[in-house]
Amino acid sequence: MEASQSIVIYKPLPKAGRIKVYIPYSLKDEREKFKKLNSSFYHPQQKLWSLVNTETNWGLLLEMFGPQAIIQESKKQPKLPTKPLSDASEAVLIALEQKLILKAFSQSTVKSYCSSLRPFLLFFERRDLKELSKEDIESFVYHQISKYKISESAQNTLINAIKAYYEHVLGKERTIYEIQRPKKSMNLPNILSEEEIRGIFGSIENIKHRTVLMLIYSAGLRISEAIKLRIRDIHSDEGYIFIKGAKGKKDRKSVLSPVLLILLRKYYRAYKPSYWLFEGQEGGQYSATSIQAVFRRAVEKSNSNPWATVHTLRHSFATHLLQKGTNLRYVQTLLGHQSSKTTEIYTHVLSISNKNIKSPLDGMTEILNLVTATPNTLVDKSDINAIE
């Protein structure tokens, strides 16, 4: 058996709370056995399973997977320093935060940049930041990679935060600090099959949960875009969904599936949201963590790809459209990609032709039956137009 197809059991470090196990997606029977064990848990970010770390569980794993498993030592990763910053360094963070807010950066970007800049300020606390050279900065980035094993994503965020400080706070020219970045990896997006999509939606009984996930898939939305949808963003007459202030602060439109519209009308009748299309129990926007939890339960219940996340629905939307012959440029517009190169990653095994756009949800007759069988009488058109 190839290493990539082998089960890997990571020997836990002393005082580790759990035993981590890698089970390839192709080994479905083995994964099902593991899921039935007490305390079994899946970590989607690491793509690993785990059990509570006990001698009994360790022996159980060796007995269950011994001949086909690789035992691998776990390595303790050094943690980034967390000591307090000096007053001068704190002032730098405040200045960066203020400048980013004034430039209308998103709240998540402001938080991410300020957090990423902290180790940079600690490292150069005794140096004048204005006097640092490009080589000084690249040496620091290399130090973070070699000592703390920061990911490519964290490396890019760190570089962006440093550049933001020098360009927006100190007013340096962009060309001065062209810091070396990691070579961009070409990872193919995780995709769900149409059968898995049917299984996930079919496993959800709550109409609100089903509606929000079907909407994300049927229109190719990011989870952040779904929770920011307003009632008036559903345009049933024109057949589109309006996404305001999406990534890059750009408005766009996406397809409104007639199948989804049936479910939206039933959902609207049942929940009567007041402003946001999906609201939390106490009002306000529905939380992303709630949607993620709903999706995770549906994936487990339907025995679908355990590596899938809510964002996988967006990847699947794009891939399924291309498989049905939708023009790449249309898919690019629906996804809100600035460059066609971003969209082209979905074409790795696809033959594309130019046809009329339809949501991939519309071709699933089982889903139509699932929607029409959902409790609550279909409200008439005036009710869904109230959403507009």
Catalytic residues, by residue number, are: 222, 247, 311, 314, 337, 346
Order across the sheet with 250-255: list the strands: 234-235, 240-246, 250-255
Residue 154 sits at the vertex; the CA angle it makes with 150 and 158, to the nearest 5 degrees, is: 110
Q: Are 311 and 223 in contact, with CB atoms under 8 Å apart?
A: yes
Query: Can you say whether residue 279 is alpha, beta or left, with left for phi > 0 and alpha for psi between -120 and 50 degrees?
Result: beta
Q: Residue 29 burial by CB count (10 A; 0-12/13-18/19+): exposed, middle or buried?
A: exposed
d(CA 140, CA 131) in angstroms, rounded, equals: 14
Q: Which residues of 356-372 are buried (b: 16+ CB within 10 A; e: fewer)?
A: eeebbbbebeebbebbe
Q: Are 279 and 286 in contact, with CB atoms under 8 Å apart?
A: yes
What are the strands, taking DSSP E only, across the chain?
Answer: 7-11, 18-22, 41-43, 48-52, 69-73, 234-235, 240-246, 250-255
284-288 contacts at long range (C-beta below 8 A, 24 or more positions apart): 285/227, 285/228, 286/212, 286/227, 287/227, 288/223, 288/224, 288/227
Q: Are 215 and 260 in contact, with CB atoms under 8 Å apart?
A: yes
> In Å, what is the CA distance from 28 to each residue of 5, 144, 299, 306?
12, 38, 14, 10
Residue 227 sits at the vertex; the CA angle it makes with 331 and 98, to the nearest 5 degrees, is: 100
